[in-house]
A = this chain, B = another copy of it.
Amino acid sequence: MKKIVILGGGFGGVYTAIHLEKQLKKYRDSIEIILVSRENYFTYQPMLAEVVGGSIDILDSVTCLRSLLKHTSIYIREVTEINIDEKTVTLSPNFSHKDLVINYDHLVLGLGSVTDFRTSPGGLAEHALPFKDLSDAIALRNRIIDVIETAAQEPDLEERKALLTFVVGGGGFSGVEVVAEINDLARKKAKSYKTIDPKNIRVVLVHSKDRLVDRELSPSLGTYCGKLLQKRGIEILFNSRLTSATPNEAIVDEKIRIKSRTIVSTVPSIANPLIEQLNLEKEFGKIKCDSHLQAKNRSDIWSVGDCALIPKSPSTPEEYSPPTAQFATRQAPILAHNIKSSLLTGKRKTFTFKSLGQMAALGHKRAVAEILGVKLSGVIAWVVWRFIYLLKIPGFSAKFRIALSWFLDMLIPTDTVQLKSKPKKGFDNLHYADGDTIFYAGDTGDYLYIIVKGKVDVIKEDVKITTLHAGEYFGEMALMSDKKRSATIKASGSCKILAIQKEDFDVLMTHFSDLKDNFTKTEIERLNNAKKRVQGD
């Protein structure tokens, strides 16, 4: 029994499995196809932005892997290790403490890319919402509903404006699509609140070039995109970058601070970190492949999609396939054929593909598209967009559900139900910029804070009484005595802070007696210092 193991449940991995199933139909008893995916469903990413806006249902953009792949062994696990010398893949435990090790004859790496915040001066990893998969889309939709519900009851105008401000970083396809849906949802939902003035809603798109979708679309369509979004009330900051974030602000070019509770980053992505550890030829963090989609100098390792560096055509070996769904789905049948050739007989195929076109939906029944060189925009492009994606989405029942959702969306208004999961426990990583207030005297004591990097000032009645540094903690007094905060804490320069919820703090205090002694000692010291200061006045 030969084993083909595919890692990754995105476009590259899933379409490879679909084509392998078809091409190896006669060899089911001698060749096993295995797919490892983090989720039990395949996400049709071009539809994700519509989940945020609500014009399709939450589950409409996904299809169960099991129903797409009837003859593949599917493992819903995290990959923890790939060993190309021993030809094994290790998967994380589920419901037990045992890793699962599977061996392979051929390995297909379709692990995609992950968001990379390493170049940010700080705060994006902690406070910007990512926008890559279904759980991101649901989380973003819930956040928008949450800030609007909260804004409706917020007495302070400044805070209300911050709650109603949305900042998106990156004006490529996904940035443009998601900012359009955020804008539509926020403005539509806010209408049902008498207490919200639509003038206080602010939606900002930050893009590093002077034209949107500059890499994907022609200049005229990119310009059209920008004009259309501006007409709908979206502010666009061109030639700017979303550089960092705090719990309360988006920071652009390290100088412009925008008060906001909803920051979305669609920009930078790098190949999956699992790839990094592999002893394979790489460039830009991606696996170098030949036109047969085989890793350089490796007859048993193949790669597809965003984590692979594949020539667009054998005649242009230095020009690589862009990281798009279109290319991944076109690479998949070639890859499946070549693995079949390796296992059985037959000539290999080479990958060569010219893009058929590009499309982006802009909400509100508008889109832009460039298909076989023809440029479309507005309502026509939007109709074409829906029609093409409906044809392309895999599975009949998915097509049916989406078509129905689109139809119903015209008839009945979408409900804005917020799907909260049970409150999370654990530690939060926070990033603050210079002068930010972490909490005010009089606030409720809900967290213990530990300074990981940088320093903070402790302020009582407008006087700075001390400065705390990395490794020190604060906020324990209100937690230990269940009182309100006795001082205001402000970041002095940019700093990174770890926050531990009151509930977890209580657990730690109960079970680690050393820690409790430690905190009690600090509290007594700080109270004594406070007394001395009062006496010294």
Q: Which residues of A contact B (CB under 8 A)?
A: 39-41, 57-59, 62-64, 66-67, 70, 73-76, 93-100, 134-135, 138-139, 145-147, 149-150, 152-153, 159, 163, 192-193, 195, 261, 397-398, 400-401, 404, 408, 412-413, 415-422, 424-427, 439-440, 443-444, 446, 450, 452, 471, 473, 485, 498, 504, 507-508, 511-515, 518
On whether A425 and B422 interact (CB within 8 A), knowing A40-B417, A66-B416, the answer reads no
Q: For the complex of A and B, list the 8 residue pairs with the smallest distance between their C-beta atoms, beginning with the closest.
A: A425-B426, A426-B426, A97-B443, A421-B421, A64-B415, A41-B417, A40-B418, A397-B412
Q: Are B99 and A416 interface neighbours, CB within 8 A?
A: no
> A76 CA to B408 CA in the complex, in Å?
28
Q: Are B95 and A426 interface neighbours, CB within 8 A?
A: no
Closest chain B CB from A516 CB (angstroms): 10
A416 partner residues in chain B, CB cutoff 8 A: 40, 64, 66
Q: Are A59 and B62 interface neighbours, CB within 8 A?
A: no
Of A94, A96, A146, A193, chain B has the most CB atoms within 10 Å of the CB of A96
Q: Which of B63, B153, B417, B498 contacts A100 (CB under 8 A)?
A: B153
Chain B's closest residue to A70 (CB) is B192
A515 partner residues in chain B, CB cutoff 8 A: 512, 514-515
Chain B's closest residue to A159 (CB) is B96
A62 partner residues in chain B, CB cutoff 8 A: 415, 417
> A237 CA to B404 CA in the complex, in Å?
44
Of A97, A145, A452, chain B has the most CB atoms within 10 Å of the CB of A97
Copies in the complex: 2
Closest chain B CB from A352 CB (angstroms): 35
> A100 CA to B507 CA in the complex, in Å?
27
A507 partner residues in chain B, CB cutoff 8 A: 427, 498
> A416 CA to B408 CA in the complex, in Å?
22
Dominant SS among interface residues on chain A:
mixed
On whether A450 and B511 interact (CB within 8 A), knowing A417-B40, A444-B99, the answer reads yes
Q: Are B40 and A149 interface neighbours, CB within 8 A?
A: yes
On whether A412 and B400 interact (CB within 8 A), knowing A64-B417, A511-B452, the answer reads yes
> A100 CA to B163 CA in the complex, in Å?
16
> A446 CA to B98 CA in the complex, in Å?
10
Q: Are B427 and A424 interface neighbours, CB within 8 A?
A: no
Chain B's closest residue to A470 (CB) is B511
Closest chain B CB from A49 CB (angstroms): 18
Question: What are 17 A-B pairs at a CB distance below 8 A?
Answer: A40-B418, A59-B415, A59-B417, A64-B416, A76-B146, A93-B446, A94-B150, A97-B444, A97-B446, A135-B419, A139-B422, A397-B413, A398-B415, A424-B424, A424-B426, A425-B426, A512-B518
